[in-house]
Structure 1
Amino acid sequence: MARLPYAMSSLATLILVQTVTGSYAFAGLAAAAQGLAGAVGAPVVGSLADRYGHRRITVISTVANIVALLCLIAASRSSYRTEMLAAAALVGLSQPPIGALVRVYWSRLDQNHALPSHLPAAMAYEAAADETSFVVGPTLVGLLAPLATSLGPVAPIVASVALLLLTALPFTIRYTDRHPAARRSSQGDTTALLPRRALLAMFFAMAAMGAVFGAVQTGVTAYAHSIGRPGAAGLIYAVFGAGSALAGAACAWLPRGFAVRHRYLAFAATLLVGMLALFVGGRLHAVVPAVAVASITVAPYMITLYTLTERLAPPERTASAITILCAGGPLGTACGQALAGFLAQGGGSGDAFLLAPIAAAVALMLAVALTAVDRGRGRWLAPE
């Protein structure tokens, strides 16, 4: 439940700003500002957490995120576009990296031999949990946004504030490290170097996945408005999350002989196939079944990226590495939302969905290139 505010924020911002301004293009720009700020903020929060303790930094980040969401509500009431952009950026900059910190928690259990040989299954669970949050989150946005109350489209933002208070703060207190000095003495110095080139490659791979998310979010929002049911956007996007969650859970049963670097290439290829189905469905106005088909190709690709990154990072810098990877998602989503917003403004949902297979093709080309480098340098990308 602590992941829900992150899962809700992008679509909630998109719907709120579009409702207030009447512009898909500006709504996409506001969501892009939020995503870009999140891409900048996440690695900083991860690095500070490794240095000063996860608990202290995540509490500060969570409180700051609550304040930023309240500022976004105030800006939407004033209808000043500059203020809405600034508030949306503050929301992205201050988002607590709950998903990344949970993965660090699992990794440390594995390193301490409390979870022997079960890390792949744990990461598969994490992908399913992430995607479940992206089922429930957009569904809540879809149910809350059209409420016939004085709150109206602000209701999802209010719900996010409540969830941060009731779930993110308790999670932070219970499951994050309080004393970084003790961890440094047992695991090493937090100044250990990160494999920058490999992490940069993973960052751009996740950014391509984020662009797919941005295109799908904007496409389903435009489609829902075109059929006269704007509140259905969250429900349609929930189908995307549901299929991905099921596929993510199934990854726990992948055979051990299916090497991670081979999974990377294979799942990047299936991602492209899935996004082509989505584009065709958008053109044929069979959006819901196309979203369902495309969704099952998402989680396997993302799980592979997380697994590769976890293997690349020194144990004492796991939070930094995973938050760098996670930062690629908001960056890609921001670019995808901004570009898809302009496409939707002129050509509707079909043009917005076109961006999804383009981003997936970029992901596949990157996977092909990195797999070739990995083979040439002797498991540079995926050390065993």
Structure 2
Amino acid sequence: MTDHAPSLVRAAGRSYFPIALVARLPYAMMVVGVLTLVVAGRDSLAFGGLNSAVVGLGAACVGPLLGAAADRFGQRTVLLVSGVASTTALGLMAWVVYSPLPSYAVLAVAFLVGASAPQIAPMSRSRLVQIIGARIAPGRRSRTFDATMAYESAADELVFIVGPFIVGLLGTTLDPWAPVAGAAVLTLVFVSAFALHPSALAAAGSHEQALPPAPARELARPALLAVVAGIFGVGLFFGSMLTSLTSFMADHGDAASAGLVYGVMGIGSAALALGVALFPASFALRARWLVFGAIMLGGAVLLPFVSSVGAMCAVLLLIGTGIGPTMVTQYSLGAHRSPLGRSATVMTILGSAVIVGQSTASAITGSVADLFGTDAALFLPIVAAGVVVLAGVVNAAQPHPAQTAPEITPTRQKVAS
């Protein structure tokens, strides 16, 4: 067998990938779902945006701790506990918004929604990296790693496009509480299935327990912080783009179609993300970040000049070709630079950075759109893309940037930085 992909599929189990894909949908639905619910239930766009930001704050505060717990105790226990907690918090959110309780009670529950959110995407990355080290032949590990990071980023792109679309669909056809209730059901069923999947045993931490984990202070290394800043910028772009696009579509009399138009961005993004695995090794990770970040920024600069829905779709398609490879590069660098025994922690930090950026930008962009209009709001994705490029410049200035896949062994992952 010469194709590495079937080997990983067999090692992880054929049911793994569809379960992992659906299990990460609730995470992508939370911010927009809470925004939709609170705006409808409390009749305040500003308060809805504030709740979205608080969801992101909860994820930022607790998400990395869930990753650290998974590194120490294994993913299965952590995901089962967080899955039940998240289902409960989402159900409570659907109730408290329509209750007579004061605003601070709604904000408290919004924080719990973010804090309890199961970190499926980073857990999946960490799990697959460990499976590659334990089950894939040494000669195939580098290419398998590249392909896995490409697939995982494409999957993230897909759910962050599909998630808001599902929220819009459920919210308009059923009721504003339906997206949050749907996320609760998906969490209970698919997060539990992901936690109980046999592949979780590969990420139980048994191999890395042979060596002590690196000190937590190594998570603050500049090379890793540059990656966190860059992927935070991508989250900022997601939030500012979706919110400003919603305002743009409202100006064109079809706000309900914002999710569909937003999905155009995912076409080029997912395609190029998957294509990253075919890039030559000479196209270094630091160069990829700068090249595709520049494409993302160049496309964003065109947004304020767009006047039609067709032109907006064309610009979003262009921007998508930059976002996909940029995210693959950032997650690959995060995997390279994960300190020993801290892979799940790093991946959850990166995943939390995306949702914090998304929720923060959603709140800010919504306020800007209300106060100054769509034209002003469309400048915010430019700022977000600028953050991505600036972080890429900082990354390129690091003395030892990772350029190839990390050397993964069955007992440890050696970090190239």
User: TM-score by structure 2 length?
Assistant: 0.84
Q: How far did residue 379 of structure 1 move?
A: 3.7
* 8 Å Cα contact 1:208/1:362 also seen in 2: yes
Residue 99 of structure 2, aligned match among 72, 78, 88: 78
- Establish whether residue 246 from structure 1 lines up as the match of residue 271 from structure 2: yes
User: TM-score by structure 1 length?
Assistant: 0.90
* 8 Å Cα contact 2:284/2:403 also seen in 1: no
- Secondary structure of residue in 2 paired with 1:145: helix
User: Is the alpha carbon distance of 1:235 and 1:190 closer, same or farther for their aligned partners in structure 2, counting shifts above 3 Å?
Assistant: same
Q: Identity percentage over the alignment?
A: 32
How far apart, in 2, do the equivalents of 1:86 and 1:346 lie?
Answer: 27
Residue 346 of structure 1, aligned match among 364, 371, 376: 371
Residue 169 of structure 1, aligned match among 192, 196, 201: 192
Deviation readout 1:298-340 (Å, 9 max, x if unpaired):
1111111101111111342111111122222122222211210
* 8 Å Cα contact 1:370/1:381 also seen in 2: no
Match of residue 181 from structure 2: 158
How far apart, in 2, do the equivalents of 1:244 and 1:36 lie?
Answer: 27
Q: Which residues of structure 2 form unaligned runs of 5+?
A: 1-21, 405-415
Q: Which residues of structure 1 form unaligned runs of 5+?
A: none
Map 1:199-348 to 2 at 5 A.
199-281=224-306, 286-348=311-373
* 8 Å Cα contact 1:199/1:324 also seen in 2: no
- Establish whether residue 96 from structure 1 lines up as the match of residue 112 from structure 2: no
Q: Which moved more, 1:332-341 or 1:286-295?
A: 286-295
Match of residue 87 from structure 1: 109
Instruction: State the AA in 1 paired with 2:161.
Output: V
Q: How far did residue 251 of structure 1 move?
A: 1.5
- Establish whether residue 184 from structure 1 lines up as the match of residue 208 from structure 2: yes
How far apart, in 1, do the equivalents of 2:90 and 2:129 lie?
Answer: 31
- Secondary structure of residue in 1 paired with 2:260: helix
User: Is the alpha carbon distance of 1:202 and 1:30 closer, same or farther for their aligned partners in structure 2, counting shifts above 3 Å?
Assistant: same
Match of residue 135 from structure 1: 161
* 8 Å Cα contact 2:82/2:117 also seen in 1: yes
Q: How far did residue 191 of structure 1 move?
A: 4.6
Q: How far did residue 181 of structure 1 move?
A: 6.1
Q: Which moved more, 1:11-20 or 1:107-116?
A: 107-116
Tell me the matched-pair count.
376
Q: How far did residue 195 of structure 1 move?
A: 4.4
Q: How far did residue 381 of structure 1 move?
A: 9.1
Q: How far did residue 113 of structure 1 move?
A: 5.2
Deviation readout 1:269-298 (Å, 9 max, x if unpaired):
2221122233432x6664333323322211
User: Is the alpha carbon distance of 1:252 and 1:179 closer, same or farther for their aligned partners in structure 2, counting shifts above 3 Å?
Assistant: closer
Q: How far did residue 363 of structure 1 move?
A: 2.0
Deviation readout 1:318-377 (Å, 9 max, x if unpaired):
1111112222212222221121011011233332221111121122122213312x2xx3
* 8 Å Cα contact 1:123/1:303 also seen in 2: yes
Match of residue 11 from structure 2: none
Match of residue 125 from structure 1: 151
* 8 Å Cα contact 2:130/2:203 also seen in 1: no
